[in-house]
Amino acid sequence: MQQERCSSSDRPLDPGSLLECDAERSADRLGCAAVDFPVAVVLPAGGSGERMGLATPKQFCTILNRPLISFTIQAFERLSWIGTVVVVVAKENHDLMLNIVQKFNHTKVKVVHGGTTRHRSIFNGLQAFSSTTDSLTPKPKVVIIHDAVRPFVEEDLLLKITLAAKEQGASGAIRPLVSTVIATTSEGYLDHSLERAKYRASEMPQGFLYDIIFQAYQRCSEFDFEFGSECLHLALQYCGTNAKLIDGPPTLWKVTYKRDLAAAEAIIKETLSMSACIIAGAEAEAVELAKALQKNLKMMETDVIPCAKESNTEYLSKTRNFIHISTTASNFSGTLDMVKRFEDIDHARLYPVVVVWVQLNMTNQSVDSQKTEELRAFRSLASEVILGNVLLYGIQIDHTKVPEQWERSVERLAEITVALIRDRNAALTGQLLHA
């Protein structure tokens, strides 16, 4: 078959904006008004991750100290219109999963045991809703099925999938194909190639009227259970339901290989680095530095506030990055107050919080002369707060009245600050760097 040139809409034009995966910002943005019927979720997480090649199944691999599956659960749990999230795990991982649920305070999760294939695991998950005695898992109108290893799923897509499933009986997210699909002969030669523009990659999430997908699984064959990989196909073949297909973003991809874990980590770090709060204090020089720093942190959305002790703690919920400017060496009290507040509102439970303590040196003395005592105190504080998932770094900057020198120092301060926030490297906590 002659290959036709694809139109641009048939090809993935770019790898996608990282902003699309900002789970926190979009949470309940569209509200639950559109969904006035019960919706539940099944997350198959019973695989062994053979292609990842690690001893730990990929859904339990950690990114920033948190298992991948917890990110996926959170993407659903944060939405008020979503009820129970059934997580299907292999029997041997039951306790591990319960620990994750407890540690990250997942409140909507019910854990059930999986099967030897993905379809068997999904069917087990669906059966959790068929028990008439379990009040924790009432039968939903619509059930969303989503692989536990696709951590980035936004509310707007979930809404579209859910409403289309309610209307049509089944719905699924699709993406343009990156590569052309070809058929090979048994001898390893090209048989034919498919016209790429006509085909799409089937992704997750998928949504179904519960009765339809449950019935499809009840009717499907052993062959389907053993070798099938497409739930939409079961709904079509066994219930005659044609799924509505909905274009999804590129961030829906499935974590499959080791490099995908690195990509997922990069997306999470990038998203976490988009904003910061600068706490300037009242001294004129510190305020001047805060403003100059704000100008240099161009890629970040920054707020400057005078004091971390403010009774209004709204600033805390806006970001997980804090830059605390202090003109006194060894004055960590403001930092300590802030960390206390993080504990009070559980701010570092899901993501590590970064605190950069900037010591503005107003004396003409080299900061080296202060080093031993302050450094020891700073390191000890950093090793204390890291236990609560707070990463504390220090940067010293010398105040100077020479404009070019000052500008260069502030630029360096901004560069180091951005690097620390982006990397969230635990090994560098407790270090006092020099801008």
Ligand X SMILES: Nc1ccn([C@@H]2O[C@H](COP(=O)(O)OP(=O)(O)OP(=O)(O)O)[C@@H](O)[C@H]2O)c(=O)n1
The interface partner of residue 229, options being ligand X, ligand 5RP, none and the CB cut-off 5 to 8 Å by kind, is: ligand 5RP
Can residue 254 be called a binding residue for ligand 5RP (CB under 6 A)? yes
Can residue 229 be called a binding residue for ligand 5RP (CB under 6 A)? yes
Provide, rounded to whole angstroms, the least separation between the CB of residue 58 and ligand X. Answer: 6
The interface partner of residue 148, options being ligand X, ligand 5RP, none and the CB cut-off 5 to 8 Å by kind, is: ligand X
| 208-216, 228-236, 289-297, 362-370 -> range binding ligand 5RP (CB under 6 A) | 228-236
* CB nearer to ligand 5RP: pick between 147 and 224: 147
Return the residue of 203, 224, 374, 398 that touches ligand 5RP, per CB under 6 A. Answer: 203
| 420 class by beta-carbon count within 10 Å (0-12 exposed, 13-18 middle, 19+ buried) | buried
Name residues whose C-beta falls within 8 Å of residue 356's C-beta, 6 or more positions apart in sequence.
321, 322, 323, 324, 393, 394, 395, 417, 420, 421
Query: How far is 294 from 300, CA to CA, in rounded Å?
Result: 9
Can residue 264 be called a binding residue for ligand X (CB under 6 A)? no
Partners of 6 in beta bridges: none
Return the residue of 46, 176, 207, 248 that touches ligand X, per CB under 6 A. Answer: 46
Interacting residues with ligand X between 78 and 97 (CB under 6 A): 88
Secondary structure, 3-state, the chain = CCCCCCCHHHCCCCCCCHHHHCHHHHCCCCCCCCCCCCEEEEEEECCCCHHHCCCCCHHHCEECCEEHHHHHHHHHHCCCCCCCEEEEECHHHHHHHHHHHHHCCCCCEEEEECCCCHHHHHHHHHHCCCCCCCCCCCCCCEEEECCCCCCCCCHHHHHHHHHHHHHHCEEEEEEECCCCCEEECCCCCEEEECCHHHCEEEEEEEEEEHHHHHHHHHHCCHHHHHHCCCHHHHHHHHHCCCCEEEECCHHHCCCCCHHHHHHHHHHHHHHHCCEEEEECCCCHHHHHHHHHHHHHCCCCEEEEECCCCCCCCHHHHHCCEEEEEECCCCCCHHHHHHHHHHHHCCCCCCCCEEEEEEEEECCCCCHHHHHHHHHHHHHHHHHHHHHHCEEEEEEEEECCCCHHHHHHHHHHHHHHHHHHHHHCCHHHCCCEEEC
Can residue 155 be called a binding residue for ligand 5RP (CB under 6 A)? no
Return the residue of 79, 148, 234, 267 that touches ligand X, per CB under 6 A. Answer: 148
| 77-85, 128-136, 226-234, 288-296 -> range binding ligand 5RP (CB under 6 A) | 226-234
Return the residue of 56, 127, 202, 370 that touches ligand 5RP, per CB under 6 A. Answer: 202
Provide, rounded to whole angstroms, the least separation between the CB of residue 52 and ligand X. Answer: 6
Can residue 254 be called a binding residue for ligand X (CB under 6 A)? yes
Return the residue of 49, 151, 207, 281 that touches ligand X, per CB under 6 A. Answer: 49
Can residue 75 be called a binding residue for ligand 5RP (CB under 6 A)? no
What the block records as the tokens of 85 is 């999230």
Can residue 45 be called a binding residue for ligand X (CB under 6 A)? yes
* CB nearer to ligand 5RP: pick between 173 and 289: 173
Can residue 374 be called a binding residue for ligand 5RP (CB under 6 A)? no
Provide, rounded to whole angstroms, the least separation between the CB of residue 249 and ligand 5RP. Answer: 15
Return the residue of 20, 77, 147, 155 that touches ligand 5RP, per CB under 6 A. Answer: 147
Can residue 121 be called a binding residue for ligand X (CB under 6 A)? yes
Can residue 163 be called a binding residue for ligand X (CB under 6 A)? no
Query: How far is 5 from 154, CA to CA, in rounded Å?
Result: 32
Can residue 59 be called a binding residue for ligand X (CB under 6 A)? yes
How many residues sit in the footprint of ligand X (CB under 6 A)?
Answer: 22
Can residue 230 be called a binding residue for ligand 5RP (CB under 6 A)? yes
Length of the chain: 435
* CB nearer to ligand 5RP: pick between 50 and 415: 50
* Block residue for tokens 């199944």: 57
| 44-52, 78-86, 177-185, 380-388 -> range binding ligand X (CB under 6 A) | 44-52
Return the residue of 26, 70, 84, 117 that touches ligand X, per CB under 6 A. Answer: 117
Can residue 151 be called a binding residue for ligand X (CB under 6 A)? no
Chain contacts with ligand X (rule: CB under 6 A): 44-51, 57, 59, 88, 114-118, 121, 147-149, 254, 256
Chain contacts with ligand 5RP (rule: CB under 6 A): 118, 147, 202-204, 229-231, 254
